[in-house]
Amino acid sequence: MRILVVGGGYVGMYTALRLQRKLKRGEAQVIVVDPEPYMTYQPFLPEAAAGSISPRHVVVPLRRILPRCQVVIGEATAIDHANRTASVRTLASAEEGTGAIDIHYDELVLAPGSVSRTLPIPGLAEYGIGFKTVEEAIGLRNHVLEQLDIASSTRDPAVRDAALTFVFVGGGYAGVEALGELEDMARYAARYYHNLSPDDLKWVLVEATDRILPEVGEEMGEYAVRELRRRNIDVRLETRLDSCENRVAVLSDGSRFPARTLVWTAGVKPHPILAATDLPVNSRGRLPCTAALQVDGAEHAWAAGDAAAVPDLTSDASGALCAPNAQHAVRQSKVLAGNVLAALRDQPLTDYAHKYVGSVASLGLHKGVAHVYGRKLKGYPAWFMHRAYHLSRVPTLNRKARVLAEWTLAGLFKREIVSLGSLEHPRAEFQLAAGTGRHPEAS
C-alpha cells in the first residue's frame, strides 16, 4: 500500500508526520514529493527579512522530521488519478536526460499549496519582488539594505529618491507584516549612514479594497492603518497598481512613484499542478472536497489547505468554505491523516469542523494587532501574542528553542544590518577572476 503526499508544506508535512506515527509497521509506505527539502514556516518570513530570525530557523528539514517516510525532492508535473500515477521531475532528471519518473500510489494526498497571484500589469514581471518563500524574504532584505547603500553613495537626486522609495502592493498579512518589519529595520539601519535619516525613506502601501488586514476585524484594521500612517507610511486604500514600467509605480489615483523596490503580495492562487490532473476543480481552480477532506467525486484522493475548497461546517452561511490559511491547514492535516488511516482500516471517517478563533498580526518590533476569541488587542500585547502563538505553532522542539534563543539574543544586542546580496551569486567573483586573470585579492 502506497500513500503519495504531493507537497511538503503545512498540510503535506503534518499529514505525513501523523501518518508515520500512527501507521503500523508494514501497513503502508508514505512518499512525500516536494521541490524543496524543507517546509517553510511562512509567518516567520517577515522576521527573517528583518533579521530577527536566521533563515535556516524558518524552515524545517523534511528528511529529519519524516525519517520513516520516503522523501522525493522533485516537482509533480502531472497526475493521472485514473491510473494512480504521478509524474515527477526530480533533480536527477535533467542530469540523466530521462525526463520525469512515474510514481504509482494507492491513496493520494494533494497538498501543493499556492503560488503568488499576479496580474498582467506592465513591468510587474520585470521589477516586482514576491514574498512567499524564504529565498524571496532574504533577497528582499538584502535588496532594501543595498538601496540604502546606493542612496548614500549617489550624487543624482533622482537615483537617490528612487532608491529610498519602497512600494508594497497588497494589504493582507504578507504585505503589512513585511512592510512593518522592513520599515523598522531600515529606519534602524539609516542611523549608520552619515548622509541618510529615517525621514528620507518613503514607504507606500497600496491596497485595492477599503481596508487592510480584514482577518483581524474592521476596528483593528483601522487601528493598523492609523499606526502605519503615524510612522509616515503612505497607506493608499481603494487604489490599484496600474504600471511599474521603467521602475516607476503608477497608481490608479494618478500618483507616480519612481521606486527601485516594488513588493507584490496581492494574493495567491492554487498551485498549477491542480490543472495538470484529471481531478475536478471549481471555478477558482481549487479541488472541491467533502467535509471529510476527500476530493468530491474521486475515490482515494484527499486534499486540504490552499488547494482545497472545504465546506465550513461551523458557518451559518450556505455554501461557506474554510479560509485558505495556516490555522485551518494545520488542523485539517490532523483530520486528513486520521481519515486516510480510517479508509485503510475500513473505519468511519470524521468531518472537519473548526470555528475560526481569530488572528494576530505584527506591525514591526513591539507593535501589532490581534482579534482572538472576541478580544481585541493592539500594540505590545498584540505583538507579544503574535510571537507566542507562532512560537507554539512552529514545528519541532528544536526549531522552537532556536527561534526563542534568537529572539532573546536580539533583545540583548543591536540589530544585524549587513547585506549579503552577493550570496545570491556565489560564483560571480570566481568567474570574474577566471575570465580576466585578476586574482580576487589583487588591487
Asked if residues 225 and 237 have their Cβ atoms less than 8 Å apart, the reply is yes
Rounded CA separation 79/315 (Å): 33
Place of cell 485551518: 328
pTM of the model: 0.89
Q: C-alpha 264: how far from its chain's center?
A: 12
Q: Tell me if domain 2-116+268-344 and domain 124-266+359-412 are identical in fold.
A: yes
Topology (CATH) of 2-116+268-344: FAD/NAD(P)-binding domain (3.50.50)
Over the stretch 342-393, which tens digit does the pLDDT of each residue have?
999 999 999 999 877 778 899 998 899 998 877 889 999 999 999 998 999 8
Residue with cell 493521472: 80
Per-residue pLDDT reduced to its tens digit, 211-253: 999 888 889 999 999 999 999 999 999 999 999 999 999 999 9
**Residue extents of the structural domains in the chain:** 2-116+268-344, 124-266+359-412
Mean pLDDT of 282-294: 93
Distance CA 401, CA 269 (A): 33
What's the CA gap between 335 and 426, in Å, rounded? 43
- Residues 285-308 have a mean pLDDT of 94
Question: What letter represents residue 346's amino acid?
Answer: D
Q: How far apart are CA 12 and CA 4, in angstroms?
A: 10
As a whole number, mean pLDDT of residues 258-263 equals 96
The torsion of the CA quartet 114, 115, 118, 124, rounded to 10 degrees, works out to: 160
The whole-angstrom separation of Cα 196 and Cα 270 is 42
Amino acid making up residue 401:
A
- 74/350 Cα distance (integer angstroms): 32
Pick the CATH number of 124-266+359-412 from 2.20.25.10, 3.40.50.970, 3.50.50.100, 3.55.10.10: 3.50.50.100
The candidate with the shortest Cα–Cα distance to 4, out of 25, 27, 33, 24, is: 33
Mean of pLDDT values over 280-306: 93
